[in-house]
Every structure is written in structure tokens, then in C-alpha cells.
Amino acid sequence: MKKFKIYYILHFLISIILILVTSNCQTENWKSHRQEYSSGVIANNAMVVSAHPLASKVGMGILKKGGNAIDAAIAVQFALSVVYPAAGNIGGGGFMVIRKYDSRIYSLDFREKAPLKGSRDMYLDSNGQVIEDLSRIGHFASGVPGVVDGMEKAHQKFGTIEWTELIQPAIDLARNGFPLTRKEAVGLNNNRKAFIEANTISPDFVLKEEWIASDTIRYADLAETLVRIKNNKRAGFYEGHTADLIVAEMQRGDGLISYEEVGLFAVLWCK
């Protein structure tokens, strides 16, 4: 197993919008209905909206199995960590607001946390000036990730579909690959230098210098990480092999995250 790789800058918030309205919004036809989507869509039972059509398709699949909005949101989150990690990844964090049918409202704070060794002036030089990009790219820009813990806690409280069924679509996408959109190909190319400089071990996808739209990309290491999350839930990420890999990468790159604080991460429920 290769050592842990930071696939994207870890401080992104997840961006999932799951709207329950009143079904049959077929994400497969998204290309032929761009104009309709730009002016809004009305569905009969439910719809899923996310930053990538493949992730939305995963969410719709969960709803069609009888899952609820939280089940679909969890599946979409993990799918986005593969197909569009800038909008949702397992190395970041975020917030979830849930409104139940009886008008009760819940909020879940699973935003990533600053390392215990972090300090007020950690991004300043000896003259008190900001060090460019130190807070944005690389090991010093990384907080203790909250997504996996947040998704498990949401599932514990409101989930109805088996956890394994929610993670498997993301594993399939990472392992089997998917075609890049033009925007994704441009993003990979434009950020190639940052990927190389921010990692102590270069990710496999930077071996290809120029990506183009429709190229198939695969993330074998990410697939294995998702398998551990599928089989062991929270413990598959914050403990054991994955936690070892995270801390090892931090140590190689002079990062601040320790094994202890990875294991202690906990989300906050607010009613």
C-alpha cells in the first residue's frame, strides 16, 4: 500500500445541496437539459443537486432504493470526494442543516479543527508578515478532517440505508475510474505544480502532464481508504492504517497533526 497522499488542499468545505421537493429528475439527461436546469426544475417526489452529475446520480440511486435525504447526502458526499473533491472531500469538513417533516431543525458541525500545535502567528514570518500561501496549500494548511465523523454521526441519527451501501458507489468510481469534464481536466493541469510541491510523495495522477476532457482517471489509493471507511466506519479513518498514513505524511512534511488528535476528533450536534 502506498503512503498517504493529500489529494486536494484539505481545508475546503463540502458543498452538498440536497433538496427534497415534490421525482423523476433524471440526472442521466443533464446535458440535454442545461437550459431547463438553468431556469429551475420541478420534480414530483425528490431531486438531488450537487456539484457533479455523477455524484447527483449516486444520490438519486439511494433515494430510489428507499433512502431518505440524509442517506442520499452521505452517499453524495463520498461520491464527490472522488469525482469533484474541491466540492466535497474526506480531508475537509463542513456543516449540515436538517429540517424534519415536523419542522424540527438540527445542525451538525463537522468542520475540520486546527491542530493542537497550531498558534496565532503560525502563518507569519519573523517580521510579522504573512507568508504567502502557507495557510492555503500544504501541510500547514491542513486541519484535522471532520467529514468522515460527521457523516457517520448523521447516519447514526437519521440514516435508514446500510452504511456500506452508501459508501460503495464512491469506491466503484475511484476504483473503476470516470471521465473527466473539461473543467476538471483544466483544474488538474493548472494545479499540477501545487500537487507536486504540497506532497512528499507525488500522487499518481500528476504523472500525466496534460489531462484532456473525457480522459478516464482512477484513484486506487483513495478507493482503498474508502473501503476501510466502508468496513469500519469512523474507525476506518481516524484509527488504524489510515490514521497511521495521515500522521506519517504530516511528519514527513513537517505538519502539525498528531495521531492523538486524529483519534479524538468529535463533531457537534446543535438543535
| Single-letter amino acid, residue 62 | I
Cβ atoms of 7 and 222 within 8 Å: the answer is yes
- The pTM score is 0.83
Tell me the domain boundaries of the chain: 27-270
| Single-letter amino acid, residue 25 | C
Helix (H, G, I), strand (E, B) or coil at 144: strand
Mean pLDDT of the chain: 85
Residue 65 CB partners (closer than 8 Å, separation 6+): 161, 165
pLDDT at 36 over 60: no
pLDDT band at 3 (very low <50, low <70, confident <90, very high): very low
Beta strands in 160-205 (DSSP E): 178-179
pLDDT band at 17 (very low <50, low <70, confident <90, very high): very low
Going by C-alpha positions, the residue among 219, 232, 265, 221 that lies closest to residue 115 is: 265
